[in-house]
Structure 1
Amino acid sequence: MSDLYAEVILPLPLHDAFTYQVPGHLESDIAEGKRVVVQFGQKKLYSALVTALSSKKPENIDVKKIYEVLDEQPVVLSKNIKLWRWIAKYYCCTLGDVFKAALPGGLKLESKSKVFAVDDGTEAELTEKEQLLLQQIGSENSTVDELQKKLRNDFSYPVLKSLFKKNCIQIEEKINARYKPKTETFVKLHPEIENKKILNNKLNDLQRAKKQQALLLHFCEKINAFKKDVLLSVSKKELLDGTGFTPAILKELVKKKLVIQFQKQVSRIEEETENSQVSINLLNKHQEKALTEIQASFEKKQVTLIHGITASGKTEIYIHLIDEILKSGKQALYLVPEIALTTQIVRRLKNVFGKKVGIYHSKLSSQERVEIWDKVLQFQTKPENGYQVILGARSAIFMPFSKLGLVIVDEEHENSFKQFDPAPRYNARDMAVILGLQNNAKVLLGSATPSFETYYNAVNGKYGLVNLKKRHTNVELPETLVADVKKAYKRRQMHSVLSPELYELMQGAAEKNEQSILFQNRRGYSPFVECFTCGWIPKCKNCDVSLTYHKYKKRLTCHYCGYSQQMPDSCDNCGSNEIKTRGFGTEKIEDELKPLFPNASLARMDLDTARSKTALEKIIQNLESRKTDILIGTQMVTKGLDFEHVSVVGILNADNLLNFPDFRAHERAFQLILQVSGRAGRKNNRGKVVIQTSQPEHPLLNLIISQDYTSVFKAQMEERKLFRYPPFFRLIKIVVKHKNQQTVDRAAIQLKQFLEKNNKLILLGPEYPLVSRIQLWYQKEIWIKFDKSLHLDNTKDFIIDCVSKTKHLPDNSNCVINIDVDPM
């Protein structure tokens, strides 16, 4: 009987770690950070993660045994687990939630996971057990449960894992989101051709088929047949491209049993052929000064903010800092708000650092994420094989770095760094700071419009602060004009959705062969449709929102749950056929601009046109190569894009941004307008920006025109101090959800009553948010404000206790209550 016990965490929303006994035959294999197979509950098996080992048996508990150890090497480092524990505690979620969010899907196994075979044609050497398991999986999908029942004692998790590593199987985590491996056709010699003599005979047999003979010779040269450094196969594309040989000739060689064609799974991760192709650009004197100041700041502070105006060349400074870290043998993490929009940064980093760069984000397949995860781990033992730089979206914060030296958070003000659902509801920018502290790595936050919380920390000395106030090419910041659309509509001067000022500038840009960008933060054709007879507006059946009209689909769609219906011919309320569209989205703007600019090439950048990464890259490439003259887009166009020939930017409806009911509305309006303005005149001439509004006298607009960040910051700080908002007070949002409205009302009031027992908490609500029902779930919010002097952990423990008491009251067991710390 073994005296070794393992504390494990499961990928389930459970606060506790669980203790299992380690059987004697597994003692030498088990280690912290490895995955093990355990039974949890009556029947279900999970891959759990070992967080600690002990010889002390838990008292008064019947301890189950670990089934198997899945890994030869740990997949998670102890410093990762330390960060996970911090996240669970700070963001009031379970360690299981963090485990589920952190680990790539391919590393999480449970008995309901589906397994299916992949014929990649590599004829990998398989053991007897592997062959047996692969035969059992066969062509039909099986769950791990089903395989266990069929194979009984012959079933083994390590064998399953080994087949996964050899690309013989795929593990599908979600039944409704099956991963399709990327395959390519490869060609290899027929197994009957065992030596050079047989090959020569076969070549002689092809004397009358000269093309087939030539192709076979070309193929043998490609694979270096029967030589020491032999390649077993070559891709069909590589074999035929640019040769004049056709697939039909290859087909004849297959028929004659000279070669075999097979499908092979290929990695979607593009590898560079060389370590470095392009030298690092020299910095101008302003960038040099900023770099020196950052280095000096890092001597004293762990975290530094670089406040650099748009087009000041912050990316080049980042590259110089990464280069320094790489030379010291350490790793760097470069976080960006949305990976799909960073084609230009990806290209630049890969050009400079080549194979050292890996890209990690949630749109990669399960297999790819596991591959990248492994390569980051490999850096600890085999630096030449591992990734030294990771460029990623917020999920990259969980990567298993062993020698982290630098974390860069670009566009640190962006909302995309915040995870909204499911738990953990973390902010990757704040996590980057903790990650830096735990790894003794330097953290650089960068933005032209820093979040007010970050800037407050910088001006108060918590972070270092470096300013970069000159554009890279010394081009002036764009000239900003405010267009009064209220007045223009009255005088009938509008050109569809364009004010006369914006229309004239766009006409001028078109004449000079320059480009324009229009920003409208609504996709679709129009935000809603309305009956002009009775005022009826079609609403979503699952959510309390009006349906958005998409003309290209001729459907009304809900942007919250995806519900859609045909555009009605008549009013459901009064029968009138006077159904008209109201307002305008990006699709309508594109439609309206075609007759105004008949010779211009128009494109849209929104969720409808850029659903795939390749579609988005094409939109960006077309603008870069000047195939697109006018780009219409949502917030996507504001995020760090760099286009040389854009001279005009139009914000079509600033009122939506200025009047949004949120204490951060002015901060976000300033950031968004300034960021989109920064796309104009980045390289050659000064750009022009037109802000269309019906409130030209709004005080924020003058500060936007003068790009006076400091004045906006000071004004907002006074308001926030007066009304007790961050950064002076802490903020926690609690959302109560249930499909029955009365249950939500009752549970929210009960929760507030528990919270009121702590008179140091300021409570707002419970109130319904702007959208009170989403996907049939009613929701109410309670916002909690409390002074920073209050003990944070004790306050959170009190809040968690109140939530627990509420859920245990009669009829509340089915209530969902989410805690969001530092909500955005």
Structure 2
Amino acid sequence: MFNRPLDSAYTYLFDGSAEEAEGRRVIATLGRQKLTGYVIECSPEPPPSLKSDITLKQIERIVDPQPVFDSELIGMARWMAKSYICSLGEALSAMIPGGKRDKELAPALPGEDEGLRQEPISLSDEQEHAVQQILSAPRGQYYLYGITGSGKTEVFLQAAEATLKEGRGIIYLVPEISLTHQVVQVIRSRFGEQSAVLHSSLTQSQRIAQWRRILSGEARLVIGARSAIFAPLPDIGLIILDEEHESSYKSGTTPRYHARQLALYRGGVHGARVVMGSATPSVEAWHHMNKGTLRRLDLTRRLSGGAVPEIRVVNVKGSDSSLGSELREGIRATLKEGKQVILFLNRRGFGYFYHCRSCGADFSCTRCSVSLTFHKSKQKLVCHHCGYQRPVPQVCPECGSLELGYSGFGTEKVAQDVEELVPSARVLRLDTDSTRKKGVLEKGIADFRQGKIDILLGTQMVAKGLNFPGVSLVGIILADSSLHLPDFRSYEKTFSLITQVAGRAGRYSPDGRVILQTLNPAHHIIRQAAGMDLEGFYRRELDSRRELGFPPFSRIIRILVRGREPGRVWEYARRIHSGVQETMEGLNLDSWEILGPSESPIPRLNNNYRVHMLILSSRLGPLQQMLPRLLSSMKKDYSLYTEVDVDPQSML
């Protein structure tokens, strides 16, 4: 099999034995290209379906001295190919270590999560009960639902320790590399050479080395981000999915798999325990807890002396400043007490909308249908989607006016406002723009934890997973930034983000405060997040989705067609729509609906026009069988690209 959207396996000649080739990567010629292929089967005779007049090519060389996948991983790849509508070769490529990245393993980030210790610690009654329930049977599906700072990680680690004593393996998934680094050091200390790390910042040779340690049985606990779910452990007893709600568990490229679904699949194959955890479960997970499909285990109190912080909602409608009066006073008072502040805004740059104040003309990306963001430090207008940049104009090209300026604000503007408010404060901004250089993020977090920084300002990278004892005040600069995105998950994402950011305050002391600035103080999401009303949020959100027929009451397949010529994109999308409609009506299924085709919320991206459609159904099986046949039967237009995304996490 090759990493190509090709359904067929290819037959090649090999002079050696099956033991030398099966389960290995090889170099072989396909057409005029030399490609890496995956040997899934060896036979002394050619397959009966092979035509007699075909001359077989030789495998050029074997890449791996030992196998890198076995029959179980091939079985999982077949399941992925069927579930996510891709080829077996594409599925195997996602599983096997490889890629072109060549970065050194980044150092561990400071900031231990939830009171992590190098040695096991005494558990609270709630933690002890959770561990006992997880270990009460050799298999099962559990959800550890606990507020931030309630000790979820220690429960995971002690369950892992018990599983190792049973002689079984563990896969420990975390959503992002920054979180991985925080836990890795503790796991290495506790489990020594029994542990292995898999993530995308390892070089290819480092990944292969870790892969071989796992295959050989030397490493029986694997920790890593999304792709660690493919670790070739022979006998898995426990799979942990920390921060289950995070969208980074969903792959953004083919195959567009979700690690949560693969965890449940592998758990079923191995008869393992699958344990998920979060302070803000996904709406789907909450629904399954209510149904009893996931067994809910609660952690209700913080263990380090902290209390759930008070959240103050402040209306900043009509304000010109990024810092309202209450937040300004809060920052001054917190610094006077010798405590630290975290300020969060999920928007980088200085101003996100640059325009002419005379005629209203704005400045959009020439390649994408989005406005350019003003970056004052660079004196550039930048597209945050494709990277296009242009100098800041001095004259309006439409009316010749000199009255040009920006609206809105990003982290760069907030940093300027903070420095003007408290000139003596040590302020650090952490976002994609400020952390491009290697080591900046790690050093910044270390400095903040050690008290060398007074105010930490940033985007999502400062919002979750990090634990700082000195933080007393968290300021959410604008809670509305994701509230009105054209995505049915926008309320869920906003609620989760506010709750997670608020959880950074007062984790070690009862005086934590959160000031939540908003343009919509009466919005139910803002009120529910401020009141920590998780039960109310999930109840209302589930009622809304039930009425609309959205997940978890259906499954979605999103089909997106993109290309340089809008006419051809629309024509091909309409052909797919007609094919789906005709085929599904022929199957006589009641529980399905197709929405679109319509412009994607971002209609043009990097000079590609984008049209999408959504297929909703309570049963995906018929769709997963029908779509590959339909798409392969259609006359190809090689100027277009078609993306098929099962259970999409974003509609943009």
Matches within 5 A, 1:367-516: 367-379=205-217, 383=218, 387-420=219-252, 422-486=253-317, 489=319, 496-516=321-341
Which residue matches 2:75?
A: 82
CA contact (8 A) 2:309 2:510 kept: no
CA offset at residue 672 of structure 1?
A: 0.7
| Letter paired with 2:169 | Q
Higher relative contact order (CA 8 A, sep 6+): 2
CA offset at residue 805 of structure 1?
A: 4.1
Distance 1:794 1:659 in 2: 33
CA contact (8 A) 1:342 1:641 kept: no
| Equivalenced residues, count | 631
Distance 2:357 2:122 in 1: 62
CA gap 1:315/1:363 in 2 versus in 1, 3 angstroms: same
Which residue matches 2:627?
A: 799
CA offset at residue 502 of structure 1?
A: 1.8
CA gap 1:560/1:807 in 2 versus in 1, 3 angstroms: farther
Which residue matches 1:665?
A: 490
CA offset at residue 609 of structure 1?
A: 2.0
Gaps of 5+ in 1: 1-8, 107-172, 183-266, 271-276
CA contact (8 A) 2:464 2:504 kept: no
Which residue matches 2:113?
A: none
CA contact (8 A) 1:602 1:629 kept: yes
CA contact (8 A) 1:343 1:617 kept: no
Q: Deviations over 1:389-429 (max 9, x none)?
A: 22211121222222322111110000111112x20111112
| Letter paired with 1:279 | E
| Letter paired with 1:349 | I
Q: Does 1:12 align with 2:4?
A: yes
Which residue matches 1:256?
A: none
| Letter paired with 2:10 | F
CA contact (8 A) 1:342 1:640 kept: no
CA contact (8 A) 2:340 2:470 kept: yes
Which residue matches 2:188?
A: 350
Q: Which moved more, 1:321-330 or 1:688-697?
A: 321-330
CA contact (8 A) 1:92 1:800 kept: yes
Same amino acid, percent of matched pairs = 37
Which residue matches 2:111?
A: none
Distance 2:64 2:580 in 1: 45
Question: Secondary structure of the equivalent of 1:756?
Answer: helix
Distance 1:695 1:531 in 2: 27
Which residue matches 2:501?
A: 676
CA offset at residue 99 of structure 1?
A: 2.4
| Letter paired with 1:460 | K
Which residue matches 1:188?
A: none
CA gap 1:269/1:699 in 2 versus in 1, 3 angstroms: closer
Which residue matches 1:283?
A: 123
Question: Secondary structure of the equivalent of 1:80?
Answer: helix
CA offset at residue 13 of structure 1?
A: 2.4
Which residue matches 1:54?
A: 43
1:316 maps to which of 139, 154, 168: 154
Q: Does 1:704 align with 2:529?
A: yes
Distance 1:341 1:578 in 2: 45
CA contact (8 A) 1:305 1:444 kept: yes
CA offset at residue 736 of structure 1?
A: 0.8
CA gap 1:663/1:287 in 2 versus in 1, 3 angstroms: same
Q: Does 1:98 align with 2:91?
A: yes
Q: Deviations over 1:602-626 (max 9, x none)?
A: 1112111223562211121111111
Question: Secondary structure of the equivalent of 1:20?
Answer: coil
TM-score, scaled to structure 2: 0.92
| Letter paired with 1:34 | R
Q: Does 1:589 align with 2:579?
A: no
Question: Secondary structure of the equivalent of 1:476?
Answer: coil
Question: Secondary structure of the equivalent of 2:481?
Answer: helix
Distance 2:295 2:223 in 1: 23
CA contact (8 A) 1:294 1:466 kept: no
Distance 2:180 2:338 in 1: 26
Distance 1:371 1:550 in 2: 42
CA contact (8 A) 1:767 1:782 kept: yes
Question: Secondary structure of the equivalent of 1:358?
Answer: strand
Question: Secondary structure of the equivalent of 2:311?
Answer: strand
Which residue matches 1:155?
A: none
CA contact (8 A) 1:394 1:417 kept: yes
CA gap 1:787/1:278 in 2 versus in 1, 3 angstroms: closer
Which residue matches 2:23?
A: 33
CA offset at residue 445 of structure 1?
A: 0.4
CA gap 1:667/1:278 in 2 versus in 1, 3 angstroms: closer
Which residue matches 1:744?
A: 569
CA contact (8 A) 1:340 1:613 kept: no
What root-mean-square deviation, in Å, do the aligned CA atoms of Structure 1 and Structure 2 show? 2.2
Distance 1:723 1:782 in 2: 16
Which residue matches 2:477?
A: 652
| Letter paired with 2:128 | E
Which residue matches 2:174?
A: 336
CA contact (8 A) 1:807 1:813 kept: no
Question: Secondary structure of the equivalent of 1:513?
Answer: coil
CA offset at residue 778 of structure 1?
A: 0.5
Gaps of 5+ in 2: 109-116
Which residue matches 1:196?
A: none
CA contact (8 A) 2:82 2:625 kept: no
Matches within 5 A, 1:201-350: 278-296=118-136, 298=137, 302-350=140-188
TM-score, scaled to structure 1: 0.73
Matches within 5 A, 1:170-209: 173=100, 179=102
Rg comparison, structure with higher value:
1
Q: Deviations over 1:154-205 (max 9, x none)?
A: xxxxxxxxxxxxxxxxxxx5xxx7x48x7xxxxxxxxxxxxxxxxxxxxxxx
